[in-house]
Structure 1
């Protein structure tokens, strides 16, 4: 079991394909708020809609994506989604009003929801079962790297070139993602029979508890990914915003080799509870940031916290499902994750516009801290009872 290979051609290909999809996602997330305000002449309160419209589409398509992955096939859905994602990315240079931008964001959200559900399901099948926690941790590191390089690249392109150049660079990244997707040799699967889709098929019930918890975590994180550039601009050090994600990534990637293996050996709790506390503290520190040093210190805390929670939650969601339902489990997890992100982007955008970023980040910290109780009630307590019953039976 210890000799089972993790770093195969297919694992690298799916990770790199996912990386470039998320690179486009995070590049646009960091720069579109400025584009909306400076180029389209919209108010700050409208910024959240750019994220929300994208994630509404992503949420709406994920349940169907899970079914299609299990009935049509992983490869077909992956390639279709990557082609669609590439086409929509190349449409950004032609946007000249806010309504068209929201429509394009909705269309790209569909492609994003399909593609990320496909790659998340495929990577879970490619990695050895005994190393799934470690494998998912490394796979999610590709998303973390995209989270770093995307905003850093986007902010620098925005500051030194034009948005047209930025959008075409994103289109180039989308093409690379498609190329890597074509290189993935997906394990042969037994397709489920195609039947009329029932409401009960749209969600994998076994993945619900952890998916609900993840929605609150993503609600809190939406305050970072949607507004950190605007917050830094308000504080007077917008150039530091790109370094926020670099610090964030350094601490995530530095911890990944340990957290993934620790998950496989000791279970999720030893990762999840400390992660929630660190994420909460990081948000509080961020809310009181007045100088770049404190601003970047909060990035380190958030990186350690949030970066440990998400891959653990995704692995838990997949592990609860039967082999034939892992596509639906992945879809359910990401659907709730996107719901939290979409609601958070809109609600926190309104809060920041009516109050301040300081108050907004305090609210996000409270929301994140509440997940300690929610995680215990929805997942941990049930797991403890199941273990006690097994021990009693033995």
Structure 2
């Protein structure tokens, strides 16, 4: 666990800024990344049903294959980020995802569409790991919970309004304009990413020039020489650590498992909410995601500060209870008002828990392992969505979409049991073993 002191401790100055230009651009990039993903993801079930007469199995397969290919891509992307191959992963991933998105238009069969989903997922897995890693590198450590909370808000808002936008565009104009919009979003990411890289190079050049000027103007004393030598040793150690293959951090297992369990429920939402709307005779089921986004915006400023003060334990159980309430209310909904209540509860729970998991995972690893931590976070999210779509789709085929959402509560109940066990054990653990994991291997 991360203790309150550890969560708030930092070597950064108290006045360190969070809302820098670089942070804002990174957040905007992340917004576009997931907006593109969820606009198309939510619209594919209806498109596949109307154009290919696909059943629930193929609908869930379309979601699952994309998520699984993204997981495979992140297995090597995290290590490449540690080795400094950020630009290759970022721009290579964008190019592959753009090819996959444009390929939807030319997919004349369901097999071709599934192939394009795999290609897109591979590219998405590459660049979706890069932006959060860059964000965690520039956020002051004593504001990590708050900073990743606001950064993660872009992910959650995209997951909330993306499906609503996607279903509306497809209903009004068809699937092709949706593909065009998604492709434009990826194209916009190219100049934004280039701006981030150029800005970083300029900062490094200025820092090197300042260091050179200081060394040229000052004659080092014996004390300065010792300090300089110590700094060189520390820098070399960090560099060597980055070059070594990273050992898997066991502390990532628990938050990954919890993130996986809660993501299963989202897989059922994003894959079948449109079909559930038809079954429940709800005219605009996409409004669920709009109301969900409003709830996320309401809770996010408070949840990040709670995390920084008390750690993840303050949010785990309350957030899970809200998820359960949202799913049960959704299963009972037969009107827009019912959707509103369900989305409000689910959004409050999801908005509190998702950034909690990501920040938790970032803080239990060494700084050079943040790529691995973000990869684990996104992989557990995608794996949950992928398996959730398949498992819950099978349940829906045997019962109904209404029953499916009730059965999905089981996964959140398991989340609560595991979280409660963790909290009980954490109370018996010495404070020093609960601190943030910062060391040089």
TM-score with structure 1 length normalisation?
Answer: 0.92
CA contact (8 A) 1:90 1:171 kept: yes
1:281-327 deviation per Cα after TM superposition (whole angstroms, max 9, x unaligned): 11011111122211221000000011111100111111110112111
1:127 pairs, out of 136, 139, 154, with 139
Comparing 380-389 with 335-344, greater Cα deviation is found at 380-389
Partner residue, 1:322: 366
Mapping for residues 371-386 of structure 1, pairs under 5 Å: 371-377=415-421, 379-386=422-429
Comparing 288-297 with 181-190, greater Cα deviation is found at 181-190
> How many angstroms apart in 2 are the aligned matches of 1:230 and 1:3?
50
Question: How far did 1:194 drift?
Answer: 5.9
1:11-34 deviation per Cα after TM superposition (whole angstroms, max 9, x unaligned): 111111111110111101110000
> How many angstroms apart in 2 are the aligned matches of 1:382 and 1:113?
34
Query: 1:366 and 2:423 equivalent?
Result: no
Mapping for residues 139-154 of structure 1, pairs under 5 Å: 139-154=151-166
> How many angstroms apart in 1 are the aligned matches of 2:185 and 2:307?
32
> How many angstroms apart in 2 are the aligned matches of 1:81 and 1:191?
27
> How many angstroms apart in 1 are the aligned matches of 2:425 and 2:287?
41
> How many angstroms apart in 2 are the aligned matches of 1:390 and 1:291?
50
Aligned to 1:241, the other structure's residue is in SS state: coil
Aligned to 2:408, the other structure's residue is in SS state: helix
Query: 1:47 and 2:90 equivalent?
Result: no
Change (3 A) 1:192 1:13: farther
Change (3 A) 1:329 1:346: same
Query: 1:347 and 2:385 equivalent?
Result: no
Question: How far did 1:144 drift?
Answer: 2.0
Give the structure with higher Rg (CA): 2
Query: 1:217 and 2:229 equivalent?
Result: no
1:20 pairs, out of 5, 19, 32, with 32
Calculate the aligned-residue CA RMSD, in Å.
Answer: 2.1
Question: How far did 1:128 drift?
Answer: 0.7
Partner residue, 1:156: 168
CA contact (8 A) 2:295 2:344 kept: yes
Change (3 A) 1:131 1:341: same
> Number of paired residues?
385
Partner residue, 2:109: 97
Partner residue, 2:331: 287
> How many angstroms apart in 2 are the aligned matches of 1:273 and 1:306?
12
CA contact (8 A) 1:204 1:325 kept: no
Change (3 A) 1:193 1:329: closer
> How many angstroms apart in 1 are the aligned matches of 2:112 and 2:38?
20
Question: How far did 1:337 drift?
Answer: 2.0
Comparing 328-337 with 33-42, greater Cα deviation is found at 328-337
Change (3 A) 1:258 1:220: same
Mapping for residues 225-374 of structure 1, pairs under 5 Å: 225-238=270-283, 240-374=284-418
Change (3 A) 1:46 1:73: same
